[in-house]
Amino acid sequence: MFWDKQLECIEPEKLREIQLQRLKEIVKRVYEKVPFYRKKFDEAGIKPEDIRSLEDIKYLPFTSKNDMREAYPFGLFAVPLSEIVEIHTSSGTTGKPVVAGYTVKDIALWAEVMARCLIMVGATKDDIVQIAYGYGLFTGGLGFHYGAQKIGATVVPASAGNTKRQIELMKDFGTTFIACTPSYALYLAEYAKEEMGIDLSTLKLRIGSFGAEMWTEEMRREIERRMGIKAYNVYGLTEIIGPGVAHECSAQQGLHVWEDHFYPEIIDPETGEPLPEGQEGELVLTSLTREGMPMIRFRTRDITTLHREKCACGRTLARIERIKGRSDDMIKVRGVMIFPYQIEQAILEVQGVEPHYQIILTRPHYLDEVEVQVEMSKEIFSDDVKTIETLRKRLEKKIEQTVGVRVKVTLVEPKSIPRSEGKAKRIIDKRNLK
Amino acid sequence: MKIKQISVFLENKKGRLYEALKAIADHGINIRALSIADTSEFGILRMIVPQPEEAKKVLEEAGFTTKITNVVAVGIKDEPGGLAGVLKHLYDADINVEYIYAFVEKSGEKAVVVLRTNNLDKTIDLLQEKGVHLLSWEEIKEL
């Protein structure tokens, strides 16, 4: 299904024309309106008229999360505050949060791109869309809200948390579409089954859109099985607009980037050089049409790969692969880079183990040690010590094979790892690196 | 002749054994026999109680992972060589013991041995054939 078929299946050449036109306009606009950008461009010795082709984007300086903190709160706005109709912030885990400002047109744009996402996975005006992302400063809730309203669906703005009520709403209202973080989706399914005796796969749910944290194919299958739905990956970030920058289509083969509005590049995170198509690196995004707070070459810290070949669904817009990691989340253990998703994948591959885990890093004697705590589930508990030991050793071996670092697996009692209603805290770093 | 045993997964963490035992004590469930298998990481608490299903419910409500397993309880004269004689039968029949624990009944005349083997049905048939006393569920409750 298409929201705007002509655009979503546009000829690549035509798209590039639109992108270049918009890039030129936005570069000119930020140079004139945002002193922050003017200063950066001047320092880099670049003028808006130097942008003659899309490739010239590489001469523009990057914008980092740090830049945004320095510009706190409104230093990156390109319009007077009176034109801003809504403000969001991203969860500032360290230091100041990132602030995003939206004009009336920006909100309409947000609704438009989210509408494309929802229609793309088969949502219609007949769907009952339960939004279990947080409403408020976090962009998740309202982003989905605007999109679901735009397509005329029935919106249930449940917001995050209050799990029991979420499940009651699903059951009583006949929710058909659920949007939340993937870890919360699993928690919902578990809670429904364990605490309320409800099997979510027997309800009317049919589609789910999950994002705001990293997850794996195995988790997708698990969510699809437990909820009886098709589960799709959504991507977005506060700095660019919120959810709706990219979304999977029915092919589930990567996320289409709405690149008529958000121009994607992949760069080498170390050198900042653009990488050729098909190579893994850091995603950099430029918002081509934002009014309130345009972003020029924002470094997302998200690791992925960009593909441009036409998709099975008929769309020509580029696809990014599922986000593989964040440079912020990357842990360096004994000199080896590892991502939590790798450990998660390994645990899930050893069948039967519930995907509840936590990674604990310590450095007892100048050497990093990794402990992975995995919850014991009813399904895999045996009253035989040998069987449990075998399982534990299999987990250790599988993780070591996947990440290349020896780890110690500890099986812990059920529910002893804190559950998250927002983003999962997977890593506890107890190393004193000072 | 199978006896229900309840097994509980315990992390090697302060207070977990106490909490498990307190949970069933609070519900007035009395333990007939108990053993713990432990590694440096975790332990498995195995118990014979008169109300295994109720104990399972109570323990799960308290957040423990549990499992009910079938075992056999063998009554043996409390004298040297009593258990060895039973094990000889199993050994001759090529049956492997997975675990075993014993307690002495109140009167002190008889020892009760709880056994889990790799083939429980064969074990029961064999021991009955050899005239070994296997305790019934009623006898266990009365212990």
Sequence ranges of the domains in chain B: 1-68, 69-139
Asked if residue A398 has pLDDT above 80, the reply is yes
- Tracing tokens 């009014």 back to the chain, one arrives at A291
Q: For residue A164, what is the enclosing H or E element?
A: helix A163-173
Residue A429's pLDDT band, with cuts at 50, 70 and 90, is confident
Inter-chain touch A414–B65, beta carbons under 8 Å: yes
Contact A411 B37 (CB under 8 A): no
- Please tell me if the domain spanning B1-68 has the same topology as the one spanning B69-139: yes
Q: What CATH number should be reported for the domain holding residue A191?
A: 3.40.50.12780
Chain A residues whose beta carbon lies within 8 Å of the beta carbon of residue B11: 411-413, 416
CB contact under 8 A, A413 and B5: no
CA-based torsion, B18, B20, B23, B27: positive or negative: negative
Residues A300 and A109 sit within 8 Å (Cβ to Cβ) = no
**Least confidently predicted of A36-40, A90-94, A109-113:** A90-94
What would the mean pLDDT of B37-54 be, rounded to a whole number? 91
- Residues A57, A206, single domain; the answer is yes
- pLDDT of A421 reads 57
* From A313-322, A402-411, B28-37, B99-108, the region with the lowest mean pLDDT: B99-108
DSSP, collapsed to helix, strand or coil, labels residue A34 as coil
Residues in chain B: 143
- Alpha-carbon distance of A74 to A80, in angstroms, equals 10
Is pLDDT larger for residue A127 or for residue A378?
Answer: A127
Q: Taking 70 as the threshold, does the pLDDT of residue A95 lie above it?
A: no
Q: What is the mean pLDDT of residues A31-45?
A: 96
What is the CATH classification number for the domain harbouring A369? 3.30.300.30
Q: Average pLDDT of chain A?
A: 91
Q: Residue A352 has what pLDDT?
A: 58
A342 and A196 both lie in a single domain: no
A352 belongs to a structural domain: yes
Is A434 part of any domain? no
Chain A touched by B14 (CB under 8 Å): no
The answer to whether residue B98 neighbours chain A at the CB level (below 8 Å) is yes
**Are B67 and A382 a contacting pair at CB < 8 A?**
yes
Please indicate whether, in this complex, the C-beta atoms of A383 and B65 are within 8 angstroms of each other: no
Q: Is B41 on the interface with A (CB under 8 A)?
A: yes
Q: Is the ipTM of this complex over 0.90?
A: no
Instruction: Return d(Cα A67, Cα A154) in angstroms, integer.
Output: 39
Asked if B100 reaches chain A (Cβ–Cβ under 8 Å), the answer is: no
CA distance A265 to A277: 9
B1-68: CATH architecture: 2-Layer Sandwich (3.30)
Q: Do A88 and A292 meet the contact criterion of CB atoms below 8 Å apart? A: no
Banded model confidence at residue A164, pLDDT cuts 50, 70, 90: very high
What CA–CA distance (Å, rounded) separates A333 from A327?
14
Name the nearest CA neighbour of A301 among A65, A60, A40, A37: A65
A interface toward B at CB cutoff 8 Å? 376-378, 381-385, 388-389, 392, 410-416
What burial class does residue A114 get, using C-beta atoms within 10 Å of its C-beta: 0-12 exposed, 13-18 middle, 19+ buried? buried
| Residue A285 bridge partners (DSSP) | A264, A298
- With cut-offs at 50, 70 and 90, classify the pLDDT of residue A155: very high
Q: What's the pLDDT score for residue A18?
A: 98
Question: Domain check: are A254 and A337 in the same one?
Answer: no
Q: Determine contact, residues A219/A233, Cβ cutoff 8 Å.
A: no
Which alpha helices (DSSP H) does B1-143 contain, by range? 16-26, 52-61, 82-92, 120-129, 137-142
Mutate to test the interface with B, among A190, A194, A375, A383 (most CBs of B within 10 A): A383
For residue B106, give the 3-state DSSP assignment. coil
Mean pLDDT of chain B: 90
pLDDT given for residue A379 in this prediction: 77
Q: Check whether residue A335 and residue A245 sit in a common domain.
A: no
**CATH superfamily ID and name for B69-139:** VC0802-like (3.30.2130.10)
Q: How many domains does chain A have?
A: 2
- Interval A382-391 mean pLDDT: 88
What pLDDT sits at residue A423? 55
Determine the Cα–Cα distance for residues B23 and A37; give it in Å rounded to an integer.
Answer: 64
**Which domain-ending residue is among A290, A306, A327?**
A327
Q: Do A264 and A347 sit in the same domain of this protein? A: no
Convert the pLDDT of each residue in A210-262 to its tens digit. Answer: 998 878 888 899 999 999 999 999 999 999 999 999 999 999 999 999 999 99
What domain range is A348 assigned to?
A: 331-429
Question: Nearest to residue A351, comparing CAs of A411, A395, A297?
Answer: A395
Helix and strand totals (H; E) in chain A: 11, 21
A337-341, A383-387, A400-404: least confident range: A337-341
User: Is A195 in the same domain as A150?
Assistant: yes
- The verdict on B7 touching A (C-beta cutoff 8 Å) is yes
Q: Is the peptide bond before A73 cis (omega within 30 degrees of 0)?
A: yes
**What pLDDT score does A420 carry?**
63
